[in-house]
Amino acid sequence: MALIQQVCTAPFARAVHPPSVAIFRCRAFSISSPASASQADPRVLLGMSEQELQQLASDFGQQNYRGKQLHHLIYKRKVKEIEDFSQLPQAFRNDLQEAGWKVGRSVVYRAVTAADGTVKLCLPWTLQLLIKLEDNRLIETVGIPVEEDKVSTRLTACVSSQVGCPLRCSFCATGKGGFSRNLKRHEIVEQVLAIEEVFKRRVTNVVFMGMGEPMLNLKAVLEAHRCLNKDIEIGQRMITISTVGVPNTIKKLASHKLQSTLAVSLHAPNQKLREAIVPSAKSYPLDAIMEDCRDYFLDTGRRVSFEYALLAGVNDKTEHAIELAELLHEWGRGYHVNLIPFNPIEGSEYQRPHKKAVMAFAAALESRKITVSVRQTRGLDASAACGQLRNEFQKSPLVIESDNLQSQSDVAVAC
């Protein structure tokens, strides 16, 4: 998904994402093999485990502890170039470089705050970063600081999983910008390190709600998840993977038994309305999604969170809330719904719902025993909707052939 629109967001996510944590996504089209090959770059250090780094050091005739030093330099010191690994012998550094190894960090092309255009490092300003990848593609990532109490502040990184997105949800700036390719694992991980560098503090939460549909790049997303959890030491429960729904991938994710949150972007209480908002829904009926979500809970013990972007006059009426509550009760209990009042994007036919409509929608759910949160809207003034900032700086169409969600999901599930 995308950057975070209000905060972060990916499509909506981008258009509407949560500062606190939640989710979104969707879509359809096909990816030819190059785009799907998002696996780890064979000679990139970032993303490798300590054990792999120790093996690498050993392969270069070094002692094991050199691998631990590599791990420390990459993940704790965040050193970006091998030549700056001053703790390592010059000969080892030379050998790595001559063999084509690199750290795998990219350049921050631009940083924008949601409030006043000034990067404020200590608080609650949402910060969007545009990161320029090796092939000159731009991706968005967002840092969202949230004060929890007087002494602690949560810092959430809303990360992208693809360059653009093929799913073209009707409300999403990222979807309107097209799709280019999947991100590699290190390109996902580096977004979190970039946020930590700018804020000068540790990221506490990660949400896969930036540009792209994570389930269409599941292999790289899972590899990045491992690295974020084990190497950067972010708890699994502090990580949320968001999806608009890609056939067969929820089961695949469940098989990994992660303790992270799965967030499913519904945006509508019935199939007909959902197809109008999320075109890819045609390939994944609502009943099938709900069945997979129920099974996900049975397999993992983790309840699915549902994202619902409120679009004025489209899906924000009390009758929609009642229908949504009935749908959720039909498939389980204890579900949580995160409401995201739509953040208008350029060229969108949708409008932001009135505050009264949002409150009435939330009240209708709560009165039916559905727990609800309403995502704060931050960043309305800073192209903060996911995908908008990237679109501003990279106008040329992203390349991709298209069409067929099934072929994409086949690729995703084959990991």
Catalytic residue numbers, as ranges: 140, 386
Tell me how far, at minimum, the Cβ of 161 lies from ligand SF4, in Å. Answer: 9
Instruction: Give the residue nearest to ligand SF4 (CB).
Output: 11
| Strand 153-158, strand 205-208: pairing | parallel
State which residue, 17 or 66, has the beta carbon closest to ligand SF4.
Answer: 17
Question: Taking a C-beta distance cutoff of 8 angstroms, is the pair 180, 399 a contact?
Answer: yes
Is the Cβ of residue 12 or residue 125 nearer to ligand SF4 in the bound state?
Answer: 12
Residue 12, interface with ligand SF4 (CB under 6 A)?
yes
Q: Can you name the residues that pair with 338 across neighbouring β-strands?
A: 307, 373
CA 246 – CA 27 distance, rounded (Å): 8
Helices H, strands E: what count in the chain?
A: 14, 12
**In a 3-state reduction of DSSP, which class is residue 182?**
strand
- Applying CB under 6 A, the span of 172-180, 287-295, 333-341, 374-382 interacting with ligand SF4 comes to 172-180
CA separation for the pair 277, 175 (Å, rounded): 12
Q: Among residues 1, 258, 266, 405, which is the contact residue for ligand SF4, using CB under 6 A?
A: 1
Q: Which of 9, 300 has the CB closer to ligand SF4? A: 9
Among 4, 7, 10, 142, binds ligand SF4 (CB under 6 A): 10
With b for 16 or more beta-carbon neighbours within 10 A and e for fewer, the 305-327 pattern comes to: bbbbbbbbebbbbeebbbbbbeb
Stretch that binds ligand SF4, among 6-14, 143-151, 181-189, 225-233 (CB under 6 A): 6-14
In the complex, minimum distance from the CB of residue 377 to ligand SF4, in angstroms, rounded to a whole number: 16
Q: Identify residues 217-276 at the interface with ligand SF4 (CB under 6 A).
A: 244
List binders of ligand SF4 among 197-216 (CB under 6 A): 211-213
CA distance 340 to 310: 6
Q: Please tell me the count of residues contacting ligand SF4 according to CB under 6 A.
A: 22
Kindly identify the residues of this chain, within the stretch 13-52, that bind ligand SF4 according to CB under 6 A: 13-14, 24-27
Residue 375 near ligand SF4 by CB under 6 A:
no
- The upper half-sphere exposure of residue 411, i.e. CA atoms within 13 Å in the direction of its Cβ, equals 23
DSSP string covering 102-136? B----EEEEEEESSSSS--TTSS--EEEEEE-TTS
CB of 262 to ligand SF4, least distance (A): 14
d(CA 311, CA 302): 28
Give least dist CB 378 to ligand SF4, A.
18
Minimum distance of ligand SF4 from residue 60's CB (angstroms): 40
Which ranges constitute the DSSP H helices of 315-383?
A: 318-331, 355-366
Pick from 220, 79, 222, 210: nearest CA to 143: 210
Choice from 6, 69, 113, 174 touching ligand SF4 (CB under 6 A): 174
Among positions 111-170, residues that touch ligand SF4 (CB under 6 A) are: 165, 167-169
- Rounded to the nearest whole angstrom, what is the least distance from the CB of residue 358 to ligand SF4 in the complex? 19
Task: Give the number of C-alpha atoms closer than 13 A to the C-alpha of residue 216, restricted to the C-beta side.
Answer: 38
**Tokens 């997979």 -> residue:** 292
**Contact assessment for residue 41 and residue 183, using Cβ atoms and an 8 Å cutoff:** no
Nearer to ligand SF4, 175 or 353 (CB): 175
Residues of this chain that bind ligand SF4 (CB under 6 A): 1-2, 10-14, 24-27, 165, 167-169, 172, 174-175, 211-213, 244
